[in-house]
Amino acid sequence: MTAIAERGALAPHEDTRRERGRRDTQRRRPAQRPSAIMLAATRWIGIAIVAVYCLAPFFWMIVSSLRTTNDIFETTPLPTTWSIESYVQVFDSSNNFGQALLNSLIVAGITTIFALVFGIFAAYAIARLNFPFKSAILAVVIATSMFPGIAVVVPLLRLFTDIGWINTYQAMIVPSLSFAIPLAVWNLTTFMKQLPHDLEQAAMIDGCTKWQAFTKILLPLAAPGVFTTAILTFIHSWNEFIIALSMANDPAIQTATVAISKFTGASDFQAPFGAQMAAGVVVTIPLMIMVLLFQRRIVDGLTSGATK
* pLDDT-above-90 percentage for the chain: 17
Residue-wise pLDDT for 55-110, tens only, equals: 898 899 999 989 888 888 888 888 888 888 888 888 887 788 889 999 999 999 99
pLDDT at 261: 85
Predicted TM-score of the model (pTM): 0.77
Mean pLDDT of 128-135: 82
In a 3-state reduction of DSSP, which class is residue 209?
coil
pLDDT at 50: 92
Mean pLDDT of 214-227: 84
Task: Report which DSSP code applies to 81.
Answer: S
Does residue 112 have a pLDDT over 90? yes
pLDDT at 110: 95
Domain boundaries, the chain: 13-65, 93-303
Between CA 145 and CA 178 the distance in angstroms is 7
Helices and strands, counts by H and E, the chain: 14, 0
Does residue 16 have a pLDDT over 70? no
Q: What is the dihedral of CA 60, 66, 67, 69, to 10 degrees?
A: 110
Q: What is the dihedral of CA 96, 275, 290, 120, to 10 degrees?
A: 60
Between CA 53 and CA 107 the distance in angstroms is 31
pLDDT at 3: 45
Give Cα separations from 241 to 107, 178, 233 (angstroms).
12, 15, 14
Residue-wise pLDDT for 23-70, tens only, equals: 555 555 444 466 778 888 888 999 999 989 988 988 999 999 898 888
Between CA 132 and CA 110 the distance in angstroms is 32
Q: Which CATH class is domain 93-303?
A: mainly alpha
The mean of the pLDDT values for the chain is 81
Q: Which of 250, 247, 275 is nearest to 261 (CA)?
A: 275
Does residue 308 have a pLDDT over 50? no
